[in-house]
């Protein structure tokens, strides 16, 4: 037999064309009310639920992808902003290393957030929706086989109705022919004509049985699968949004910490700027301020020296250098540290051993404590950037 295409013969093509024509004819007759149609209200409700399920799932998948696109856009914008700040941040500014590390941590946090949503929420939806096209195709095939079943049923019914009429028509001519035929041929003619009628009837009955079997197999399978699939959607939605909510909570919690760190660094940077402005302001206060600063400078230069002043005037502590004012509260965390409150005046003194002095730390005693007790043992260390010279 001639081949029309790969795996398709002329006979198979003709058979497919005939099936489509038969189905189209059956649908027209059903719409015109000239042929009854197999209906299953329960199954039709299942199909309506399936279509709703597929529409909702597809929309959710589309919106999840849009959300991920927005996350990536926000990530890109955040990275550009962080890079801009890192480039502008000068090496001698407070917290330069912390700022660089925070830029990397922020970028990593955005990447993890995007990947987690993709892996846990979007992939879950993709897997769930991947099975629906096959179900949809089987529903469509079931509908076609139902039309084939209706068509075969109607064809068989029409043959069944016409069988008695055909037998009556055949009987009279056959009787006349048999009378004229030899004795050995009597009965053969009518038997042949009846056989022809029975052949069409049997073929139609076989076709009806085959069409009914194919339709019912598909119908039973889908009646089992569709309700289970409809119920499964709830679990898919729960997993999708629980995963999304969990990743959102973790992301915002970690991002909040990074934002607080950034705020702290900016606060310290402003304090650093204010401290740098203090000497300039002091230089403009007049000759008296200049003289006082000069005296302080002389005191400072003479105090690491071995011969440290011992407060000969009886008012200043031994090793006095200069006076500062607390501009921030400072809670002592160790026994050798000095507790500060905003506004405290502190008398700065030299370290007994200059090698013990850490960068950014001073030694001193509060002026109020010294004036009351004259006890140098009350001295302690404190951060320089929490004070300013007076």
Look at residue 228 in the predicted model and tell me its pLDDT: 94
Residue 279 or residue 324, greater confidence: 324
Higher-pLDDT residue of 17 and 264 is 264
Each residue of 79-130: pLDDT tens digit?
999 999 989 999 989 888 998 999 999 999 999 999 999 998 999 899 999 9
Q: Which residue reads 């096209």 in tokens?
A: 133
**More confident: 305 or 60:** 60
H or E element, residue 262: helix 188-283
DSSP letter (8 states) at residue 120: I
Q: Please tell me the predicted confidence (pLDDT) of residue 155.
A: 82
As assigned by CATH, the class of the 318-389 domain is mainly beta
Q: Which residue shows structure tokens 């003709």?
A: 14
Q: Confidence class of residue 205 from pLDDT cuts 50, 70 and 90?
A: confident
Instruction: State pTM to two decimals.
Output: 0.56
Of 192-201, 203-212, 281-290, minimum mean pLDDT range:
281-290
Predicted pLDDT at 151: 85
Q: Residue by residue, what is the 3-state secondary structure of 305-373?
A: CCCCCCCCCCCCCCCEEEEEEECCCECCCCCCECCECCCCEEEEECCCCHHHCCCCEEEEEEHHHHHHH
- Tell me the CB-side half-sphere exposure of residue 246, using CA atoms within 13 A: 10
| pLDDT in the model for residue 289 | 44
Mean pLDDT on 232-259: 93
Mean pLDDT, the chain, whole residue set: 81
> For the chain, what are the domain ranges?
23-276, 318-389
Report the top-level CATH class of 23-276.
Answer: mainly alpha
What is the dihedral sign for C-alpha 49, 53, 56, 59? negative
230-240 CB burial, b ≥16 within 10 A, e <16 = eeebeebbeeb
Place of tokens 């760190």: 261
- The pLDDT value recorded for residue 11 is 66
């Amino acid at each position: 037999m001639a081949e029309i295409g790969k795996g398709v013969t002329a006979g198979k093509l003709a058979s497919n064309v005939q099936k489509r024509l038969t189905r189209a004819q059956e649908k027209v007759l059903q719409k015109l009310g000239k042929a009854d149609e197999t209906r299953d209200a329960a199954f039709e409700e299942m199909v309506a639920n399936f279509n709703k399920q597929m529409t909702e799932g597809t929309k959710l998948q589309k919106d999840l992808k849009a959300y991920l696109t927005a996350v990536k856009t926000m990530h890109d914008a955040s990275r550009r902003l962080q890079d801009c700040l890192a480039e502008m941040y000068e090496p001698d500014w407070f917290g330069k290393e912390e700022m660089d590390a925070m830029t990397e941590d922020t970028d990593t946090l955005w990447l993890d957030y995007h990947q987690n949503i993709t892996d846990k929420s979007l992939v879950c939806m993709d897997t769930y929706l991947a099975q629906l096209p096959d179900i949809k195709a089987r529903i469509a095939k079931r509908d076609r086989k139902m039309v084939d079943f209706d068509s075969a049923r109607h064809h068989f019914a029409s043959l069944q109705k016409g069988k008695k009429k055909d037998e009556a028509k055949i009987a009279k001519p056959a009787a006349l022919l048999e009378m004229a035929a030899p004795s050995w041929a009597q009965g053969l003619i009518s038997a042949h004509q009846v056989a022809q009628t029975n052949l069409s009837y049997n073929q139609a009955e076989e076709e009806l049985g085959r069409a009914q079997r194919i339709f019912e197999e598909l119908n039973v399978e889908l009646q089992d699968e569709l309700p289970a699939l409809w119920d499964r959607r709830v679990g898919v939605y729960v997993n999708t949004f629980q995963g999304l909510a969990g990743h959102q909570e973790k992301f915002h919690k970690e991002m909040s910490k990074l934002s607080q760190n950034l705020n702290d660094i900016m606060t310290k940077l402003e304090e650093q700027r204010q401290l740098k402005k203090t000497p300039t302001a002091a230089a403009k206060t007049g000759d008296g301020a200049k003289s006082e600063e000069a005296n302080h400078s002389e005191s400072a230069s003479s105090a690491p020296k071995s011969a440290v002043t011992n407060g000969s005037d009886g008012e200043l502590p031994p090793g006095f250098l200069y006076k500062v004012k607390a501009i921030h509260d400072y809670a002592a965390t160790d026994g050798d540290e000095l507790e500060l409150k905003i506004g405290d005046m502190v008398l700065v003194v030299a370290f007994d051993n200059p090698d013990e002095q850490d960068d950014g730390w001073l030694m001193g005693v509060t002026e109020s404590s010294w004036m009351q007790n004259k006890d140098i043992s009350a001295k302690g260390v404190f951060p320089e950037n929490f004070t300013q010279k007076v």
